[in-house]
Amino acid sequence: MLSVVLVGLSIAVVPLEAAVAKRYANSSNAFGPLTFKADGTFQISIFEDLHFGENAWDSWGPQQDINSVKVIGKLLTAESPDLVVLNGDLITGENGYLENATHYIDQIVEPLVKRGLTWASAYGNHDHQFNLSAADILAREGFWPNSRTRRMVSGEGVGVSNYYLPVYDHKCFDEKICVPDLLLWFFDSKGGFRFQQKDAYGKQVGIPNWVDYRVAQWWHQTNAELVQWYQKRIPSLAFVHIPTYASYALQQAGVDPHTEPGINDDNPLAPQAQGWCPDGRDDGTCSYGGQDIPFMQAITATKGLMAVFSGHDHGDTWCYKWDSLLPGMTVAGNGVNLCFGQHTGYGGYGSWERGARQVLVTKEQLEACELDSWIRLESGNIVGSVSLNATYGQDRYPATNNTFTHCPTCNYTIVTPMPGTKR
């Protein structure tokens, strides 16, 4: 099935050497290549669901953004990561004005720029709205040399933030002659609404909420090219805002607070292709359309992929090893870990304590495709510290204490959507 869905689709192919050379030119920036530190470590901080720009016309909206900036600063001071990932819903675009919606990017990245840190983004459903274009967010990010966000897949309907970044040994100063030790894949799960488009009835036009099958094909082919080029399997991580249906199936199988520590309040969670029909209708008659199957096939086909990190469901923060064929699924897991982060921003629904998932990869761990992860909270506390190794899912950990943020300066009521609704 995989060869039919992914390989059988047509895509423009250029000679391998030229293709890889072109990607090198697009993957670096003024900061130089991403590298492990001299001690053999590389740490990522994942900021999920920042939701800047909510209700700018009320006092509580800007206050949320101020609070979110404070959270970002606290987390960066505590962790000092080598890369920050902004994993979707950077901006609540439906509250944005056409003339300045992307300017919230400047507020988001100010704490990173001040610290000389670099970042990469994957866009979410709230980043695609009638008054907010994900392409314009990318352009706004491009004002800052710290940004590594790219667009490597073109075409109508494929999304914007689909690309990869290589991470090299600390001695690498020229990407053209170095072999990556780690690959970071970023995907646009889309959703939301088309920029400045309405249908014949004057209604905003919705965007499919899954990683496009052409992007899945690009991933499959590009990874195969890299394996051929370097004559080795390169360990990797992936970032996508909306989780796949596999995360939903795992959740329904049961999340154990001691073997998959984390909060599990958004149950059932909202996966890709939720609310769509297999025939492409989005009329409220279907619960799930299966359009993320090509992406899930690409996940399981990518050898050396250690984990996929998502947000979107603010009340879920667990990691689960997908290593079987689950009820209602046609794609069997191969042992990859599917993880949620922590709701980072004060915007967006829910009052769970803000924080960010941390990912630590060492050169030694890469040999076994393993990594360590934990969540740093705004309070400074660490929860959900796990080793995503061969025995994850069997090892027992302390249950995560579910703490909440109470903001006396925020004069608003947080509304949590009904379980299973589109977020």
For the domain that residue 86 is a member of, what is the CATH number?
Answer: 3.60.21.10
* Tens of pLDDT, residues 218-246: 999 999 999 999 999 999 999 999 999 99
CA distance 314 to 416: 9
CA distance 345 to 49: 6
In a domain, residue 193? The reply is yes
328: left (phi over 0), alpha (psi -120 to 50) or beta: left
128: left (phi over 0), alpha (psi -120 to 50) or beta: beta
In a domain, residue 410? The reply is no
Domain of residue 323 covers 2-388
pLDDT of 411 > 50? The answer is no
The pLDDT confidence band at residue 30, using thresholds 50, 70 and 90, is: confident
pLDDT of 346 > 90? The answer is yes
Look at the chain and report how many structural domains it folds into. 1
The SS3 call for residue 252 is helix
pLDDT recorded at residue 14 = 38
Token pair recorded at residue 54: 């909510």
* Tens of pLDDT, residues 357-406: 999 999 999 999 999 999 999 999 999 999 999 999 999 999 999 999 87
In a domain, residue 213? The reply is yes
Place of tokens 């920036």: 29
Sign of CA dihedral 205, 207, 213, 216: positive
Contacts by residues 95-99 (CB-CB < 8 Å, ≥ 24 positions apart): 95/53, 95/54, 95/55, 95/56, 95/61, 96/53, 96/56, 96/129, 96/131, 96/132, 97/56, 97/131, 98/131, 98/196
The SS3 call for residue 344 is coil
The SS3 call for residue 355 is strand
* Tens of pLDDT, residues 163-199: 999 999 999 988 888 999 999 999 999 999 999 999 9
In a domain, residue 310? The reply is yes
Q: Where are the beta strands (DSSP E) in 253-303?
A: none
In a domain, residue 404? The reply is no
CA distance 122 to 406: 28
- The model scores a pTM over 0.85: yes
User: In Å, how far are 16, 97, 118, 129 from 137, measured between CA atoms?
Assistant: 31, 13, 16, 11
In a domain, residue 422? The reply is no
